[in-house]
Amino acid sequence: MKRIALFLITNLAVILVLGIVLNLVFAFTGVDSRSTGGLLILAVVFGFGGSFISLAMSKWIAKRSTGAVVIEQPSNETEHWLVNTVRAQASKAGIECPEVAVYDAPDMNAFATGMNKNKALVAVSSGLLHNMTRDEAEAVLAHEVSHVSSGDMVTLALIQGVVNTFVIFIARVLGGIIDSAMSSSDEESSGHGFSYFIIVFVLEMIFGVLASTIVMYYSRQREFSADSGAAKLVGKQKMIAALQRLQQGAEPNLEGSMMAFGISGKRSGGLFMSHPPIEKRIEALQAIS
């Protein structure tokens, strides 16, 4: 219920902010919102704007949706180990130490988020801490630090922005063509009717699903890269052992951007999977000399 409420609040805030920005852009440029240029501006503002506002809010959303508690002052040996391990890995990777947090969940997982690699968040589940050895958990942390040091969150937001822009623009252009073709030739209209918005909505759904396969393909490739980065930080045998442990656990329940940068993702879905099959990730690591 909390995740649904946060999703609705976030999206309403994004729409409100981008609506204001769009009106200001049209006012200052004088571009007709119904022209091709106007449609392109709308697509860019909502395509990239939505993606980057979500990225800017990612740490806030992650903490509240998972209940992750940032370790400000370590209160036990495990928390000391977590903070010291992430700090050492971040230093080795050449970035500032991310915030380190723990969230209560039975599955073995962890995620990284944040719009700046020097102001990121790395969070681990209680299930991971209870079910993994220190070497395995160290490899998981290295995987997340590798995501951060590579700037994967920003790159994914850029790709999502490009994809969103094309989906919004093409859906509206085709929607206008289809709506005009469905209207009688002698019928004059000063604007788009209700049918136009229905057509655009349907087209955005269809194109959005197709476009998501591009984003998921990139996400899968970045998992191989993060595994490789973790192998450089802590050794490939530790990373392989961590992945083998994940194979034995339950399917993770992270969602959205947190799932994309978690150590483990859904194990089915084909082209819509955010993570490659674990066995393929292990094979890729074993092939590293």
> Helices in the chain by DSSP H: which ranges?
2-29, 36-56, 58-66, 77-93, 126-131, 134-149, 152-182, 194-234, 236-248, 256-260, 278-286
Q: Max CA-CA distance within the chain?
A: 78
Amino acid identity, position 205: M
Amino acid identity, position 193: G
| Residue 142: both structure tokens together | 């290295």
DSSP 3-state of 109: coil
Q: Report residue 242: phi and psi, to 5°.
A: -65, -45
Q: How many residues are present in the chain? A: 289
* Residue where the block lists tokens 């909390």: 2
CB 111 within 8 A of CB 123: yes
Which of 138, 144, 204, 223 is an active site residue?
Answer: 144
The Cα–Cα gap between 107 and 9 comes to 27
How remote is the C-alpha of 219 from its chain's centroid? 9
User: In the 8-state DSSP scheme, what is residue 189?
Assistant: -
- Is position 144 annotated as part of the catalytic site? yes
Q: How many CA atoms lie within 13 A of 168 on its CB side?
A: 21
Strand partners, 112: 122
| Residue 42: both structure tokens together | 């709308």
Q: Which residues are catalytic?
A: 144
